[in-house]
Structure formats: C-alpha cells, structure tokens
Structure 1
Amino acid sequence: MATPDFVLDLRRKIGTDPLPLVGVTAVVFRDEKVLLGRRSDNGALTPITGIVDPGEEPADAAVRETLEEAGVVCRVERLAWVHQLPRVVYGHGDQVDYLDLVFRCAWVSGDPYPADGEMTEVGWYDLDALPSLEHSDMRRRIALAIGEDDVARFEGGR
C-alpha cells in the first residue's frame, strides 16, 4: 500500500504521533452480490477502503478508490455508517486514528481485477453465502450498507 504524499509530508513534521485521517469504505453491490478484495498488506478479505485526499469529497474518494483498487466504476447511493476505528499502530510505529465513512455504492461498469496492487484478488461474492471475514466490523459495514433506504448510523453521541 502506497502511503499518500500528504501523509508522508505530515509524518516528517509529527513523526509517529497519532494522526487523524478520514477513511472511506465503499460497499459496492451488483444484483445480490458485493465486491470484496483480499488486501495485499494483511491478506484480509474486505470491501474497498481508502483514505480521503485533502480537499476531496468523501463520496468521490469512495468512487476513486473503487476504480483504483478494483477497476470497477461505481456510484455512491448513500452514507451508511460513520464510526471511529480503534487506533492503528503500524509495524514501523506510525499511529493513525481513522474516522471511517461507509458508503453504499452501486456497480456501474467494469469487471473487477486487482488494479493497483493493493489487492491480490477482487471479485463478486453472494450476499447469502459470504465467506468468513477476518475483521468483524467489515461484516457490519456490509450489513449496514445493505438497506437501500436506511438512514446512516452514527457511533457515540451518548
């Protein structure tokens, strides 16, 4: 996974201190299937994920990441979930606090393939026979995106 230049620039200033970033998850549906890929960094099967670039609209980031990682064009239908992920500490010491925005997306065109090397495999999976996912919150992201007219879920606010 290539680290975006803006993150590298910030890291030169703050070192490994916690860095708040906005991430997106694109849960892309086509008929009764969902787009999943196996990440090249940790082998986990997940929907498409990525980081929002400075000044970029989050929904645009979900569309961009889907094209970059899977070669699939999608359109965002709605926001499904807003949640803070537990702090991530990478092997080299960098700490990141991701605010994740989960979007329900619809397939527009393209056959999935591992387009930029961030995924080792990408494909459509039947919703009623999903394989085991290594991260339990990925299954929740998919579940919250399934409802076509559901309102977005927000964590916290207690």
Structure 2
Amino acid sequence: MPTPEFILSLREKIGNDPLWLPGVKAVVHRDDGALLLVKRADNGQWTLPAGIIEPGEEPAATAVREVLEETGVDVAVDRLAGIGTTDPVTYPNGDHAQYLDLVFACRYLRGTARVNDDENTKVEWFTDDERPVLPPKHARAVDWARSAESAAHFVR
C-alpha cells in the first residue's frame, strides 16, 4: 500500500522532518506453529507484517488489515503482546520517522499466503528451524507473542 494520505499531507507541511507515528506488528501463527513473514522490497529483510495505524482506526483492526493487504491472509487478533518503539528510520526519499510499536499475537484463519502488494517481494510460512534471522525488534515481537504471559510486554 502506498504512503497513507494523511502522512503525505503532513509531509507537505513539514518536509522530511521526523514524524512520530503509531504502528503495529502482527505475529501470525498457524495451528502447526509456523510463523508468517514478509520479505520487504525496500531493504530485502524478512520481517513481520506491519503498518501504520490510520487516524481513528483501532490498532487491532490495523493488524488485521495490514496482514490481509500484505499477504492475502485473514487473521484474528488474540491479544496485545507488547508495546515498544522502533528504531528511527530514514527512508530512501529522505523522510524520517519513528514508530510507537504495538505488537499483536494473531492466529491464522484462512487464505493462501502470497505477495499481495508492492511493499514485499516474498511471503512465506516458516517453522522455527527454517526461520530467517529477523531484525532485533521483530525478533523481540515474536518472543513477546510466544510468551506464556498474558499481560503485554514493555521495556521497563
């Protein structure tokens, strides 16, 4: 999905200056334990499906929407697994951003995993033995979602 309209509007006013934005990561598991990952088109890294919360959108609904938009898979959100921040990001066009990162533990419902947008070049299910190395805060999100604790994790 292209950059949301509300961000383009903000960028007209502030240029490339840093934006603080709310975002989600979706940790999606099938019943067999496989984890859904996407390979990003911009940097070639394997990551969790993720995205920006639109103004007025409920964060859990964002997680469901982003997974469907990126992978063609329908999910149900089971719980908020954790809250953190991402590292600051500088995009190829010079835009700067950092995200409040809400991590949701999600369960696969239906659909065939596939590349469903232009943000990713691959979409695949991985067992723990096959899983590629993830960026640290994506690996942290997986750990949070897999934790037996029901309370959301956060950095103290």
Tell me the TM-score normalised to structure 1 length.
0.92
> What residue in structure 1 maps to residue 155 of structure 2?
155
> What residue in structure 1 maps to residue 70 of structure 2?
69
Instruction: State the alpha-carbon separation in 1 of the partners of residues 93 and 120 from structure 2.
Output: 21
The structural deviation recorded for 1:132 is 2.1
Contact 1:23–1:99 (CA under 8 A) maintained in structure 2: yes
The structural deviation recorded for 1:86 is 2.1
Judged with a 3 Å threshold, the aligned counterparts in structure 2 of structure 1 residues 45 and 137 are, in CA distance, closer, same or farther, namely same
Contact 1:84–1:155 (CA under 8 A) maintained in structure 2: no
Contact 1:40–1:118 (CA under 8 A) maintained in structure 2: yes
Amino acid at match of 1:116: D
Instruction: State the alpha-carbon separation in 2 of the partners of residues 99 and 60 from structure 1.
Output: 16
Contact 2:23–2:53 (CA under 8 A) maintained in structure 1: yes
1:93 counterpart SS class: coil
Amino acid at match of 2:24: V
Contact 1:85–1:99 (CA under 8 A) maintained in structure 2: yes
The structural deviation recorded for 1:93 is 2.1
The structural deviation recorded for 1:20 is 1.0
The structural deviation recorded for 1:8 is 0.3
Instruction: State the alpha-carbon separation in 1 of the partners of residues 87 and 149 from structure 2.
Output: 28
Instruction: State the alpha-carbon separation in 1 of the partners of residues 121 and 86 from structure 2.
Output: 24
Q: How many aligned residue pairs are there? A: 155
Instruction: State the alpha-carbon separation in 1 of the partners of residues 8 and 50 from structure 2.
Output: 19
2:12 counterpart SS class: helix
Tell me the TM-score normalised to structure 2 length.
0.93
Contact 1:79–1:104 (CA under 8 A) maintained in structure 2: yes
> What residue in structure 1 maps to residue 110 of structure 2?
109
Percent of pairs with identical residues: 47
Contact 2:25–2:104 (CA under 8 A) maintained in structure 1: yes
Amino acid at match of 1:18: P
Q: Which consecutive unaligned segments of at least 5 residues does structure 1 have?
A: none
Amino acid at match of 1:122: V
Instruction: State the alpha-carbon separation in 2 of the partners of residues 36 and 144 from structure 1.
Output: 16
